[in-house]
Amino acid sequence: MPGELTDFGEFVEASLPGLLRYGHALTGNPHDAADLVQTVLEKIGSRWTHVQRKTGDPLAYIRRSMANAHISRWRRTKKESLVADIPDAQAVTPADPFEHEPLWQALRGLPPRQRAVIVLRYYEGLSEVEIAQALGISQGTVKSQASKAIASLRLKMTPVVEEAGGREEA
């Protein structure tokens, strides 16, 4: 048993930064990403030897589990605006390293389903069929959500690309 925990511990230690980045891309903020990673790793840790033996690629299995858990969470939640602190208190929040990245801001602005489709397609490299299975939607919905997301990202990123090229918008 200690050998199994050591292997899982070593895996978590080596994979945690990448899993947190992936979770951040899925959820849109680092706090929800950390919760998502913790939830999935808790579930997988208890059956680590089975996951290693049966999946062949535990990292891909964990990423898929994270995507599924994230989708399940936003399907269950209501469209509420939750606040971290009481409105009267002024909270000091640490700076998000991606806060001023144009692509990250554009990605964060997408609806959850579109963001999940884009992350699974271009970050995880899944096919349309695999995305449809992971999200529990049809393949046509995957295509339409990806198309809408890419169109939205193009619109949001066009001024940034033109500014980088030396042209300014009037």
CA dist 148 → 1, 115, 125, 129 (Å): 49, 10, 18, 18
Long-range contacts from 61-66, C-beta under 8 angstroms, 24+ separation: 62/15, 62/19, 63/19, 63/22, 63/124, 64/124, 64/134, 65/40, 66/19, 66/22, 66/23, 66/26, 66/36, 66/37, 66/40
Q: What is the pLDDT of residue 5?
A: 43
Using an 8 Å Cβ cutoff, are 114 and 145 in contact? yes
> pTM of the entire structure?
0.51
Gyration radius of the chain's alpha carbons:
18
Check if the beta carbon of residue 36 is closer than 8 Å to that of residue 69.
yes
Measured in residues, the chain has a length of 170
Cβ atoms 71, 135 nearer than 8 A: yes
Residue environment code for 78-92, b if the CB has 16+ CB neighbours within 10 A, otherwise e: eeeeeeeeeeeeeee
Q: Which helix (H) or strand (E) element contains residue 16? A: helix 2-27
Q: Beta strands of 30-119 (E only): which ranges?
A: none
Which element (helix H / strand E) includes 166? none
What pLDDT is attached to residue 156?
86
Q: What is the mean pLDDT of each run of 10 residues along the chain (170 residues)?
A: 60 92 90 93 90 85 91 71 64 66 84 90 89 90 95 84 56
